[in-house]
């Protein structure tokens, strides 16, 4: 046989697109031609495959070799095409029977010794291969990641020689062992936070309804401390959510599979670029907003971030996804994250402090706060002003811990899912009209607040969503003026 086709996968965002690796041998001067929009990593596979074949005891054909990666209009990246290329080459040259390619897909990078090395994106590939009815063969180094897909439709190989010998002899390949859960490490507890009752309530509301939160206060008042305790009160990830999160993290190297059932908590430094936050690159990779999918994106010192980077958060906050467009491709990543921001009231941090004088001029304060645009602030549900703590508050007995708060959050979220199928933060306008209907007194109150506070239509609906969450935490079925007043109070700085 002079023609063989092996099956692989190309990563296009979180999708693993099927790719046929076609190898044809013909007479003529020895040459190796690779077509099908390969990038540099794929083009360099020629030398890796050549050395791996020779060291593994096979013959590299001294003929004219043409390799086509179909579909031709899809860019191909990563070293994962080394293994399917090598297997197709061995079958085309008659060194392996054609049956070894039937019903299988291959993904793996070859070392010069024939060793199979780990590649990124194995989880999306394994899920897509199982859906397509094929068995995916991956390096043994990817065993833990392949196990997350169930393991039944995935096989492991340590080297090219080991794989070829097993397939030629009809021997079964090992399957990934069961996924090992991460050790139960204690998360930071809310009992460590002293005082700040309004901020603690806002954090509970944010957790129960999936709302975005901005904390504003002087240095040392506990903004970062409070934000880092949000994961400890959030409900656990469901299996489907955990697989979505793991699939996104699988696209990057260094994915630790032990933590795949934990909600992500991402806290990039304020020097992060727009591409780091949103994602990008010639071969687009996910940014922080996608790595925080189904989790928390914490932006400390929010006004210190580049304004252009912050403005790019506006679309993901609304659509829960990011689409990166390039000249030859469009890639989409999920981005259903919960934004928690923290900022000082002014550049020096002490505007409004009861004991320390602020050194900032009104122009400096306006310029500092102006780094966060109105459209971005309008997408934040809760804004809480935190005050400085005194010695008595710090010496007080510990407040309620994360376990008690988490139980209330879980109960409120269970009510939301049973009632409408999504958290309150994800309610659309039609669902709001159904599940957050107001009495005439509430309608009048909200209309008055909209006029006096200058609420936009988006702000109007976000106040309703927060009020619905407050009612769920209180176990109330109807929205009354009390919940509306609380929701407006938590949004007062946006006016």
Domain ranges of the chain: 3-168, 190-399, 427-495
CATH number of the domain located at residue range(s) 190-399 in this protein: 3.40.50.300
Give pLDDT, residue 151.
Answer: 60
pLDDT for 72-128, tens place per residue? 988 898 889 999 999 999 999 999 999 999 999 999 999 999 999 999 999 999 999
CA 331 to chain centroid: 14
SS3 at position 347: coil
**Predicted confidence (pLDDT) at residue 453 exceeds the cutoff of 80:** yes
In this predicted structure, the answer to whether residue 186 has a pLDDT above a threshold of 60 is yes
pLDDT at 325 over 90: no
Per-residue pLDDT at 494 exceeds 50: no
pLDDT, position 495: 37
340, 331, 318, 335: which is closest to 425 by C-alpha? Answer: 318
Closest CA to 151 of 121, 181, 130: 130
Q: Assess contact for 19 and 106: CB atoms under 8 A.
A: no
What's the pLDDT at 426?
A: 93
What's residue 281's pLDDT?
81
Q: At what angle do helices 239-250 and 122-131 cross, to 10 degrees?
A: 120
Alpha helices in 63-196 (DSSP H): 82-92, 122-131, 143-147, 160-168
Q: Is the pLDDT of residue 140 over 90?
A: yes
- 3-168 topology per CATH: Ribosomal Protein S5; domain 2 (3.30.230)
What percentage of the chain exceeds 90 in pLDDT? 65
- Tens digits of residue pLDDT in 403-429: 999 999 999 999 999 999 999 999 988
Find the range with the poorest average confidence among 206-210, 354-358, 363-367.
354-358
Higher pLDDT, 397 or 489: 489
Both structure tokens of 315:
């679309």
The structure's pTM equals 0.91
């Amino acid at each position: 046989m002079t023609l063989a086709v092996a099956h692989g996968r190309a990563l296009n965002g979180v999708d693993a697109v099927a790719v046929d690796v076609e190898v044809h041998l013909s007479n003529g001067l020895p040459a190796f031609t690779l077509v099908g929009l390969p990038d540099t990593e794929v083009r360099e596979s020629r030398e890796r495959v050549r050395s791996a074949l020779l060291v593994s005891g096979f013959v590299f054909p001294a003929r004219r070799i043409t390799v086509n990666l179909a579909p031709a209009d899809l860019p191909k990246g990563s070293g994962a095409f080394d293994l399917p290329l090598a297997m197709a080459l061995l079958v085309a040259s008659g060194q392996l029977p054609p049956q070894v390619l039937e019903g299988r897909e291959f993904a793996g990078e070859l070392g010069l010794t024939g060793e199979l090395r780990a590649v990124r994106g194995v989880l999306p590939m394994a899920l897509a291969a199982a859906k397509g009815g094929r068995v995916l063969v991956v390096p043994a180094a990817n065993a833990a990641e392949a196990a997350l897909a169930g393991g039944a439709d995935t096989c492991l190989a340590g080297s090219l020689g080991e794989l070829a010998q097993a397939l030629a002899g009809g021997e079964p390949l090992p399957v990934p062992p069961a996924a090992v859960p991460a050790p139960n490490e204690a998360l930071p507890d809310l009992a460590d936070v002293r005082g700040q009752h309004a901020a603690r309530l806002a954090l509970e509301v944010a957790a129960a309804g999936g709302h975005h939160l901005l904390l504003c206060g002087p240095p040392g008042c506990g903004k970062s401390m409070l934000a880092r305790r949000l994961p400890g009160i959030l409900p656990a990830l469901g299996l489907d959510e955990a697989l979505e999160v793991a699939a996104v993290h699988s696209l990057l190297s260094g994915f630790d599979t032990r933590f795949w059932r934990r909600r992500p908590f991402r806290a990039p430094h304020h020097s992060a670029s727009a591409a780091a936050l949103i994602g990008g690159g010639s071969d687009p990779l996910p940014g922080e907003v996608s790595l925080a999918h189904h989790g928390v994106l914490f932006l400390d010192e929010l006004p210190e971030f580049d304004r252009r980077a912050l403005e790019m958060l506006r679309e993901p906050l609304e659509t829960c996804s990011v689409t990166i467009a390039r000249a030859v491709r469009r890639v989409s990543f999920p981005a259903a994250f919960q934004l928690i921001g923290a900022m000082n009231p002014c550049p020096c941090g002490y505007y409004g402090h009861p004991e320390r004088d602020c050194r900032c001029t009104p122009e400096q304060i306006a310029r500092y706060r102006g780094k966060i645009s109105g459209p971005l602030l309008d997408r934040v549900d809760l804004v809480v002003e935190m005050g400085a703590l005194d010695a008595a508050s710090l010496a007080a007995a510990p407040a309620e811990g994360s376990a008690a708060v988490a139980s209330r959050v879980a109960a409120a979220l269970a009510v939301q899912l049973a009632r409408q199928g999504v958290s309150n933060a994800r309610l659309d306008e039609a669902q709001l009209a159904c599940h957050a209907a107001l009495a005439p007194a509430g309608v009048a109150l909200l209309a008055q607040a909209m006029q006096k506070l200058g609420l936009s239509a988006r702000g109007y609906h976000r106040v309703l969503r927060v009020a619905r969450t407050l009612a769920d935490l209180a176990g109330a079925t109807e929205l009354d003026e009390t919940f509306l007043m609380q929701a407006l109070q938590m949004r007062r700085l946006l006016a």
